[in-house]
Every structure is written in C-alpha cells, then in structure tokens.
A and B are shown apart, each in its own frame.
Chain A
C-alpha cells in the first residue's frame, strides 16, 4: 500500500461538503474550491496571504476562536464551517468596522468585493462613521487613489513593492493614522510611480481605480503584449460594446512575465480604437487618396510591384506576428525574386546579432529571464531597462534582493544607476577600451575560466595579444572611469558572489559606428569568464520591439532564410521543393542600403509593412529625398504616417488584438497572440493581405503559386514556418494553447523547449574570440560650431517613434512633449530652467523641445528621446554614418548646438 496517498491529498469538510486539496493548501483554498462565498478582501489569488482584513474568519471543529481561513493550513479531516453562528457574528462585526471606513458616493461603485460581502451579511448601513476624510488624488493620468474608499488592506503596497519592486506607495503611519501614500506624503504623481497599474489591478474596493467609467466586460482574452521584447502575458477585457477595456489584466501563469506588467501593457492597448485608424484600403490617384475595395487596392498594388520584379525591396514589421513575417519573406523571395527583405533590427541591434553570429553562430539571447534572477552578478551596459524593458528591470531588482551585484555601464544616469552596486560612466564611444581592460584584469588576475576557454573556444591567443594596449591606466585615461572601478567590475563579473553572471546590453552599445567592435568586446568578456551556457549566466542583447526575435527567426533578413539557414545548395533545393520556386542565392540589401538604392534606381518599388522609416531613419531629410525617387510605394499599417503619406497604395492592417498568431520574445519564447475583437472596419490581418498580394503579383508575372499562398488560417502559416525551421519544429498553435509559451530550440513535439543556449556546444562548434579595436570615438565629435554631444533613446511612456503611444491619451498626459535633457552647468550657462523652449540643431536639421535640467546627463551632453511629439523628432538631427560591418546607423551620438528660444 502506498502510504503517501494521504499526504498527496487531504480531505476536508466545509459546510457539510467534502473537498480535496493538496498539501500546502489553506482552508481558504478549500472554501474557494467549493465556490462558497467567503469574504477575502486582502487576499490576492496569486500572492501569499496578508492576513490583514480579517474577513475570512471561519469556525473549525476543535479549534478555539474563529481563525482566518487565508492563512490556516488545511489538514486532513478538518471540519470547517463558514456559516457557524460564531464565525458569522464576528465576521459581520469586522465587515461592519471595514464598511465604516468608507464614504459612499456615486462614483464609488459599490466598493467592489466589499459591497457584495456586506450585502450577504445584511449590513445595509455601518454602525460607525469614517474617522478620516481625504480628497481624491487624481494626479496620475490613468487612475485615481481615493482614500475614502480604501480599507487599508495593503494589497497595493505589496503589488508595488514585492511584485514590481518599485516601492512608490506604502501604508504609511500606524494605528488609526495609517493611510496609503507615497514618500514625503505628496500626490502620487510626485512619487517614483511608473503607472504600471499593478496596484489598480489588485485593489478590492476600487480605491485605486481607472479614471474611465467602468464598463461591463463580456469576455476576457489572454494574449501577448504588443509593445517591447519582454513579451508579457496580458488579458484583454472585451466590453459588451466590443471595445477593449482601458485596463488590461496581468497573467500570472505566463512564464515570461509571471503576472507583472508595465504601464504600456496595462493601459496602452487603446490605440487599436484610435479614431484615425485607417479602416478602408486606399489608392492614390491624381495626388489624392481614394477609398476603394480590397480587390481594387490589391490589384493596384500588384500592378505596380509586378513592374519592378527584381528591383524591389520590402521592410517587414517587428511588431507583427511570426506568421505575418513569414508570409512577407516568402512573397519577396519566391515571387519578387530578391532577398531584399529586412526589418528594424538594423536600426537597433544588428551589430549584436552580427557579432554573435560571427562569434557563436546564433544571434539570440542565450539565457532566460529566470537566469537574471538566479545570477550573482548582472552587468547592464548601455541599456535603460527601467524605461525600455520595465519588467526585466523588475527581474534585476528581484535578483538584487537576493544579493546579486548590479554593475551598470552607462554614460547617462539611468534609473538603474541609483540601484547599482557599481556605476561606471565611460565617456561615450570608449566602450571597447573599457571592456578590453576588464578582460585584461580577468586574465591578469587569474580569473579566466581556463577550462571553458580550452574546451569551448578558439582564437584566444590572437585576442589576448590584442589586449596589450588595454592596461588599467590607459583605460582609465581614455574612458574616464577609475582603474579601481574597472577592476572591481571585472572581478564581480568573472567571480560573482554566487552562481553566474549575466551580461546584458542595449542600444547604447550598438548604435555606434563601432557597434560591432563594442559587441565583440562584450562577447569576448563573456567567453573569457565562461559566463554563458549554464543557469544564472548568459548574454542578452535587450531587444526593442515585441517581435524582433521572431521577425528575424521567420526570415525577414536579407542574409538568411527562415531559421537563419544559409543560401547553400541543399537548403535552397529544400526550399524550392517546398515552395515550388527557388529563392535567390544572393544576399539581399539591408534597409539602410535599400534607401541608398532608391537614389541609384536599383530599387524602384518598395513594400513597407508596419514601419515608418521616414521617422526612424537617421537623417530624415536625406531619407525623404530617397523615398521621393521610388516609382511604387505600398504601405500596410494601422495608421497614416510620414511614410504612408508618400505611398501609392495603403493597405489597412488588423491590430494585434484583431488577429491570431504568435510573437517570439527576447528569451526565445514563442507565445500566442489571440483575436479579441473584429478588425477595425475593413482591416485584415497582415498575413492575409500579403498572401493576396503575392497571388496577384505572381499571376501578373506568370508564376504558378496557386497552392503556395492558400493558407486558411494563421495556424496553417505557422505550421509551414515550423516545418521549414528546425528549431521551431515541435511547435504549433495547438501546442502553445495547451502548454503556454515555449522557448526555442524546440525541434520536436515532445521537446520541452530550451531555457538557455550553449550548454554543450555552439552552433559554430567552438565560440570565437574576435579582437575588438577601439576606433575613433564617434564619427562626428563636437566642435566649436556644434559643441554638444547628442544622445538619443527611449522613454517609459512612449513606444519607439510614438506611432502607437501617441494615440493613448493617458500616455500622452504622462509625457506630452519632447524634452531635452541638459546638465545643470550647461543650463546655467544658457540661462535656461526646466521647461524652457530650446532649439537643437545639427548639420542635418533641427528640432524644438523643452529643457529638462538633470544630472542624468554629463556636462556637454544632451539626451532626446526618439519619439516624435508635436512634429519634433530627434532623427532630424542624427548621423547616418554606418557601422561598416553591420550597417547600423549611429543614432546614439552626433554633434549638435543648442539655443534658447524666447517663449512664443
């Protein structure tokens, strides 16, 4: 007989009914299993009990008093009653006291859960009256804090502190004077609150509630956030009027986000309903847009594109699904006969990908988010994770709570600097020297992982020789970072106090003319220390868009077929067999080269999907000139934007909430995107539009593709992608629906997915040390005419160029205008205060913005986010000088001049 049977399951009786629960369950779990209505105001389903509200009181046979069910361990044979007169009497007393804290009013909608509980306990009017009054704090754009509806349960404080690790709100004071508040007792907007809404989602009474009027929810649909590459799970509320609720819920079972969200995911989905969504296909005739039917629009587009077979390029969207991306590249390769297909990676991370391909043979993040938490040292280079990847920043904070060391390398004082154990502030453009010096410390002090180097790498000799220049003294002189700090960072990285180290970098490293050298210097550091290929270690380029990983995986890059397969004979033959048409064997053009090719006439027709290159290209004036040269421009998007304004045909696409598909996030997890609502107007899913276009172009070119673009659903497209991409071979929509998101490589249907790469080998066999050279600091350095160094980047409240976030009112309220960060010493010299209008100009253009005086930037440096607000965008200023190897534009640094504008 198995004696463990009893321990496996426990049987309890609750109100006369029996129920089984697992060991570790509480009495409340048992009560909830039976769906017995018992108040539980302070218990969040996904968190440990707080035991604060004391409303979950029950009677248990043989136990004195009325214990709180939420933290009473269930035991086999327990006899529980929620209806016992003692329990009801005491509970009613507690509910009475609780209800007495609140001041009813019209906008306070029944106090949520508490209202229901009071009704069930026949408490119409409470005995007491509230002891405190407080005006509503409406200082945040999406939600209010209404203390007269607050029962001080503490759930919001836990959400803010223990879930998000932000610590903006807390229960302040004690006893009767206690209240929810922020440091120094000001309004919420004065705090470090990031508007993530974790507290709003958990508040049981609506004291924290969204500003928009509550609307009845018809159903909830779990899907994946459309913003950044972290790929959090979100649950969309679909209202009875078929619109999305303003606030999305988090998804605790999502393995990438574990119930965390940031402001954009929580409150930023409203753009799908923007009034200026394009709902009908459009064709330009006589210089004017005409709304037409799909047939007419697709025919017009096909006519144009068919004329330029071979002189064609396509820009795919890293915001769209894997399925969308796969169909685009198939169209380009099989029908248009070219490999000119690319996506926005070029604009952010291609040096990383390029360098990783050369060094290791794969461009993906090697570790999982879980590894950040398990690491003993996190080195974060040129990334403002708190703003751009907020949920990853939470993982960092969790790691730090467990004792991990945080080293931040950033010329700008980003939020993480304030939490770091060590902040290195190198002069911009001196990164290679810095990392080479660290590598030297590791070698010189015997901290290198000799075994790893011997077994798993090659090229160490030549690389080591290349470090001869990188002494601590020289590095200190070049970078401006003290020798001591460089050495300390190297030691922590190579020998963290526990576990391994993760190296994480962002665009601060890659958007430079020597981006690829920077990336190699980082990769060498990870190799010499052996900090990859095991739990708690790894290398991560933080990806920008939600599906950059998937867009590349699916083949929207000019250098490789889906799955990063090469243009070699066996592969080409395999694709020809599958597609009926042979993809060209020649590497295509990257997006920045395509733009140059517009000018030379090499490319005359362009298909742009979900991208706005006339905002994101460096040197916008130049790009505008190039686009003017095109004969045919077809744009497919949600909105009319700068690029679309130039187009001949506009094809309205469905938004993420209006279609099925998958996104692949930064930890290689393929996750489902699900349709919650019907597309706006006549809009259609991208994959469908591209397939229709492909069929029509093929017909005009006399190519037989009848069976090739005939998918009936996104899931069929995915099956084809998986069949042709070995590392996705084991995945399908059905499996992802069943098991949740899975991490590639996942080659077979019974493969569980892969938490970290390079455990055994590298795709290249051995990893390669590639000497990284410190070249000129930046292509354009300040001079007397343009004395400031301009840095660009992103903001928490805006996404990229702002196409989506500008359409979310509350986000605009949080960051309404373009701010130019300037050091106090420079501000003093110019005589400007925060808020003063400024003009910033470079050799290429100018913009106007408002000063934000802050020590976050160095003297002589400026920072402008690259969102476009009020017709001003940083990329009017930036420098198109490429990194010669990966062809990424140098967005990060260029020389500018700044002047004070007299207020209009």
Chain B
C-alpha cells in the first residue's frame, strides 16, 4: 500500500476545517510558493509528471504553459468539480473532507498562470460537498488566504453531464446553454468570457500543494515513468468493499481489485471498466494492466477518471450496454449530428436487442455507425460513447448474438 497523500486526512475528525488543515501542515506550501516566481512553480509542476485526473490525462504543467505570455487581460482558473462520469465519486470525497487542499492548490496554480480569479464549478447534485467547500472558502477569506490578489467564485451546475466537458463547462459558466465549443481556439488561448482559461480537475489541483512542499522528484517517484503521484480510484460494482482508494499510478488493475476486497457476487470476474463509463471494457484476462494513462491506453482503453466498475459473471453485458447507451442518448448535448443521431439510434437498437427483438445484423450496424462517427465531433463525448459500444460488442459478441434470434 502506498503512502496516502490526498486522502491522508480523510480519517481525521473535522478534516474539512481550516483548523485541522493547518494543524496537519496546510497552507505551508502556499507560503513557500509565494516566495517563488510563477515560472519556477510551473517548472516544478512540469517536472512532477502530474497529469490531469479529470479524464483526458493531459500533462498539467504543459497545459499551464499554453497561456499566452504577452496577454494583458485577465486569466481565469476554472476547477472542474462536475464529476459526472458514471462510476466516479472521488472529487466528492475531496470536496467534503479536504476542501482547503483545493483552495491552497488553486492559489498556487493561480500564481503560476497569473490568474486573479478562479471559478469552481460544482455538480448540482453535490449539496454537502458544496456546503463544505463554500464554508472553507469563507474561512480562507477570513484568514486572508483569499482576497489578496486571488478570489474564488463558486458556481453550481444543473445536472447535465456535458457540462463536465471543459468547453461545455465554460459555456455554462458564462450563463449560456452548456454546449461544448469548437476547438481551436482552446480554452488556454480563449476560454471563459473570451479570456485565457485553465480548466483543471479537483484532484489534479489538490496534488499541487504536495508537489510544492515535497518537490517534483518525490512526486514523480510515487507513480509510473510517465505519470507522477498517486491517484484516487473510485471502485464500485461487484467488489467486497466499494469505495475510494488512493494508490500509486503504477498499480495494476488486479492489485486494485484485491485492495477493494476482491470480486463479490459470484466471485468470478467477467469484465472491468477501468476509467469511468466512457472507457472501453476489459475482459477478465486483461486485468494485469498498469493503471496509469499510458498503461491503459496501450491496453486499448483509458484511465479516464479512474472510475473502476467491476462485473462478475452474473452481469449481462448487453443489458449493461443498454444502460450505458441510454445514458449517452440522454446526455448528448445534441449539437453534432453524428453524436445526437447515433446515440439515439444505438440506444434504440440496444433496447431492441435486450428485449429479444434484435437482428443479427444490428450488431454490425452499431459497429459501423459507431466507428464512422468516432473522432468526428465537436467534443470527446461521442468518442466516450463509442468506447463502450464497440468494446462491449466486440469482446462479448456471443452474448449479444445469443439474444438476436432473427
């Protein structure tokens, strides 16, 4: 078991208060960071091999460095706390149990990118996390950490998955419908309110104070070769002890399932979704994979948001796909024709198959539509939908065919 970094205080009483946070070393990184040049902070983060933990796994330091150097207007820091990916619930823990870590991380990140205003976009259903976090923001203002050149605005979402996509989130933040925008321009060049904007996940920013406190080399050493640090895995489904587990990025999927007490239900593993519902599924024999961004990518899936969903062999894969397909059909923002139309059609067909009314060629039709549309849309939502469509059917085709009698 690796050292707990992000969740080190989760068991401590009142860990969400400023008092406890300070007693356990909180805001010491900030003091250090204030003595450093922005470029030095950015460099430290770059060297730490920190990669975005919201889904895309983009190197954080590199993202920060895209902010135009000669920009004279405001720069914004936006924290993505929309946590909508099915099977993912780690940001909730962080907001509830260690909100000051996010605030401290934000102030340091803001220094690195020269931002004076940060937004935190919190998923609408997260009432308790929102209460805890806003209370912490108030404490931080009272203590003078905020309001001294950096301010935080908390914004609550309204329950649309697509508002977790960074440009959809920005649209929503601007008061518009949460529709993703065409790229380029990328947010780092032209984001919220037309200004350069960095969007980072809650967990990503919570890592920052530790990197400053203990150094990039230490942080990089915690993980794999290409991804530093530990990360919070949300493990759910058929495991004995579902929950959030902080582990090194270098852990394997098999080890992680064991940490969660092993497969429950029938006790026989059938498949695992390793990175939230958008990640292609892995069959039972594929679980010796390293859970970092590159390890999972090489295995044909993705680390995504590190939401691990475990299926025992009593789970029907076609039914599971139907549930996933319903989610994507319902949550597509509807802008792009391929996404809107295909998600609608594929859900219909999955439904038909599960009801026993499917035809054998339905499977090829789904695969054809899914494959053609992949990579053609405004945002990565549709690619996220395509992952399960293709992998569920290709890896478990027999199960589908058994349902398609015609």
Contacts and interface: CB of A to CB of B under 8 A. Distances in A.
Contacts of B344: 131, 175-176
Given A65-B376, A178-B334, 11 more contacts: A53-B337, A54-B337, A54-B377, A66-B375, A97-B341, A100-B341, A101-B341, A128-B341, A131-B344, A171-B334, A174-B160
A173 B377 CA distance: 19
B333 interface: yes
B378 interface: yes
B371 to A, nearest CB: 9
B204 interface: no
Interface residues of B, number: 32
Contact of A175 (B182, B183, B329, B337): B329
Contacts of A52: 335-337, 378
A90 interface: yes
B341 A73 contact: no
B377 A152 contact: no
B376 A175 contact: no
18 contacts: A51-B378, A54-B338, A54-B377, A57-B376, A64-B375, A66-B375, A68-B182, A68-B376, A71-B184, A89-B372, A97-B342, A98-B341, A152-B334, A173-B334, A175-B331, A175-B343, A176-B329, A178-B340
Interface of B is mostly: helix
B338 A93 contact: yes
Contact of A176 (B332, B335, B369, B376): B332
Interface in B298-354: 329-338, 340-345, 348
Q: Closest 4 A-B residue pairs measured CB to CB?
A: A176-B344, A93-B372, A65-B375, A178-B334
Contact of A90 (B330, B333, B336, B376): B376
A94 B376 contact: yes
B341 A174 contact: no
Contacts of A841: none
Interface in A127-173: 127-128, 131, 151-152, 154, 171, 173
Nearest to A171: B334
Contacts of B57: none
A93 B339 CA distance: 12
Interface string A114-134: 000000000000011001000
B373 interface: yes
Interface string B285-297: 0000000000000
A96 to B, nearest CB: 9
A735 to B, nearest CB: 38
A53 to B, nearest CB: 5
A51 B336 contact: yes
Nearest to A57: B376
Given A51-B336, A89-B372, A90-B376, A71 B182 contact: yes
A410 to B, nearest CB: 28
A667 B337 CA distance: 43
A173 B368 CA distance: 27
B196 to A, nearest CB: 18
Contacts of A55: 337
Nearest to B178: A174
A152 B340 CA distance: 10
Interface string B347-367: 010000000000000000100
Given A49-B182, A54-B338, A98-B337, A174 B332 contact: yes
Contact of A54 (B160, B183, B376): B376
Contacts of B365: 127
B186 to A, nearest CB: 12
Contacts of A53: 336-337
Contact of B333 (A50, A66, A93, A174): A174
Contacts of A151: 337
Contacts of B377: 54
Contacts of B334: 152, 171, 173-178
Contacts of B183: 71
A93 B369 contact: yes
Given A49-B182, A174-B332, A175-B334, A93 B373 contact: yes
Given A152-B334, A174-B160, A66 B342 contact: no
B330 A175 contact: yes
B338 A94 contact: yes
A176 B343 contact: yes
